[in-house]
A and B are shown apart, each in its own frame.
Chain A
């Protein structure tokens, strides 16, 4: 099983290095080949699609065309990149005129032959919960978690479509297979305000505190994210003086449960340290 791995800027730079390292470690343990997409470029995130229809599809199209040349489906780690790749693939497949313009400006052929997947989808569907369960050597028993999907893993359902848009289950099932106590809550698919993180602090702080309060309301000890923007936003925007909740990447917890020795170094990158919590459960 082999994919063209698209880490995206947050994972490649140091912002979410712990996500990148844990994705790679977990993939290796499960026998998933992650061949990094050669010379990939930034997807433009919300700034691309918000400002230029053509530019957005052209810069994302370059990555899609490289993967086609590589002959592999893309496995993206960052949901913001994932949704951009999905949108552009669909648009280029359906709109021949746009495809022609994009192919011309990118200088590579593109026929939308290969798919774009998110790593969570690959793990749950292609590898399967049972296989993952067998690899667990250190179950996360009694760790009370809420899974936070955010926007782009589930929306828009016509474009991404691997889980339910209002009440997704894939991460819940996965975390339960690691032995954790996964709690039901109302914040699963609410937006954290990530795209305004650097411009509208007051709005973002309100959205983050609403999410954290909902998580506390069901007595969660930590949130689990699949998106570097969500993780950084919630990790960095809580009140550091008021006993903030740690935010994990789901792959970090997979690594921990599978006995990955480097896990400790990933957790050191968090702004809200999860060390005390993990030690209190005998997991570190």
Chain B
């Protein structure tokens, strides 16, 4: 699916050793690659690892076999969404959906709306309250969003390419 030559991986674990989030993952990046080689689709697509991957590309820069591990992770995430799987890290795909929605309607990000939406979605209303207030006091979170002239076209791009926001009609 990703077009990456996964059979090249000889399990040196360089990806996992440099990964800033591997300690928090259920399966490490090298294990994910091995599991894909073995066709363990259920375990891979329901894992927390695919969502915790930060996309920092440390593994991509260091892989001796030039496997684009981020590309593999992105493909797995997209497959997981297409199959409407409810994995272990539901807040992260919910964040992505919430992040893309303002782009679909405005063409730009709307940070305050995104933060408030996530607060409601996660039920964690008071976590980071101090940080949020500091940011509002420093006028870092404007109340009024910006809408670009081409917002309609951007919305059409979403519909045409059937991104997650487009497909689910939200």
Give me the interface of A with B, judged by CB distance under 8 Å. Answer: 9-10, 12-15, 17, 39-42, 44-56, 58-59, 62, 83, 101, 104-107, 151-152, 154-157, 165-166, 189-191, 193-196, 198-201, 203, 207, 232, 236-237, 240, 268-271
- Can you give 11 A-B contacts (C-beta < 8 A)? A41-B154, A48-B100, A49-B70, A49-B74, A55-B157, A104-B160, A105-B161, A151-B55, A191-B54, A198-B95, A199-B95
Contact of A14 among B57, B99, B140, B166 (CB under 8 A): B140
With contacts A13-B142, A40-B148 taken as known, whether A55 is within 8 angstroms of B158 at the C-beta atoms is yes
B58 — which chain A residues lie within 8 A by C-beta?
A: 151, 155, 189, 191
With contacts A49-B55, A155-B56, A198-B114 taken as known, whether A271 is within 8 angstroms of B134 at the C-beta atoms is yes
B164 touches A196 (CB 8 A): no
B88 to chain A minimum Cβ distance, whole angstroms, is 12
Cβ contacts B80-114/A at 8 Å (1 or 0 each) = 01000000000111011101101100011101001
B108 touches A9 (CB 8 A): yes
A83 — which chain B residues lie within 8 A by C-beta?
A: 57
**Complex Cα gap A50–B100 (Å):** 11
Considering only residues 132-170 of chain B, those with a C-beta below 8 Å from chain A are 134-135, 138-142, 146, 148-151, 153-154, 156-158, 160-164, 166
**Complex Cα gap A46–B78 (Å):** 13
For residue B77, CB closer than 8 A to chain A, the reply is yes
* Listed residue (B77, B153, B166) with the most chain A CB atoms within 10 angstroms of its CB: B153
Number of interface residues of B (CB under 8 A): 64
**Complex Cα gap A200–B91 (Å):** 9
A42 touches B103 (CB 8 A): yes
B100 — which chain A residues lie within 8 A by C-beta?
A: 44, 47-48, 51, 55
B161 touches A62 (CB 8 A): no
Nearest to B136 among chain A residues (CB) is: A14
A155 — which chain B residues lie within 8 A by C-beta?
A: 56-58, 60-61
A193 touches B20 (CB 8 A): yes
B52 — which chain A residues lie within 8 A by C-beta?
A: 196, 200, 203
With contacts A14-B140, A269-B138 taken as known, whether A62 is within 8 angstroms of B153 at the C-beta atoms is yes
**Complex Cα gap A228–B47 (Å):** 30
For residue B127, CB closer than 8 A to chain A, the reply is yes
B150 touches A51 (CB 8 A): no
Contact of B103 among A15, A59, A196 (CB under 8 A): A59
Contact of A51 among B78, B102, B131 (CB under 8 A): B78
Cβ contacts B57-81/A at 8 Å (1 or 0 each) = 1101100000010100111011001
**Complex Cα gap A45–B163 (Å):** 14
A106 — which chain B residues lie within 8 A by C-beta?
A: 153, 157
Nearest to B148 among chain A residues (CB) is: A39
Contact of A47 among B91, B99, B122 (CB under 8 A): B99
B99 touches A45 (CB 8 A): yes
**Complex Cα gap A17–B139 (Å):** 10
A9 — which chain B residues lie within 8 A by C-beta?
A: 108-109, 111
With contacts A15-B111, A191-B54 taken as known, whether A50 is within 8 angstroms of B77 at the C-beta atoms is yes
**Complex Cα gap A12–B161 (Å):** 26
**Complex Cα gap A9–B131 (Å):** 20
A203 to chain B minimum Cβ distance, whole angstroms, is 6
Q: A49-B74, A51-B81, A271-B138 are in contact. List 17 more A-B contacts (CB 8 A).
A: A39-B107, A40-B148, A41-B108, A46-B54, A46-B96, A51-B78, A51-B97, A51-B163, A58-B161, A155-B57, A193-B20, A193-B54, A196-B54, A198-B95, A199-B95, A236-B131, A269-B139
B44 to chain A minimum Cβ distance, whole angstroms, is 15
Nearest to B68 among chain A residues (CB) is: A156
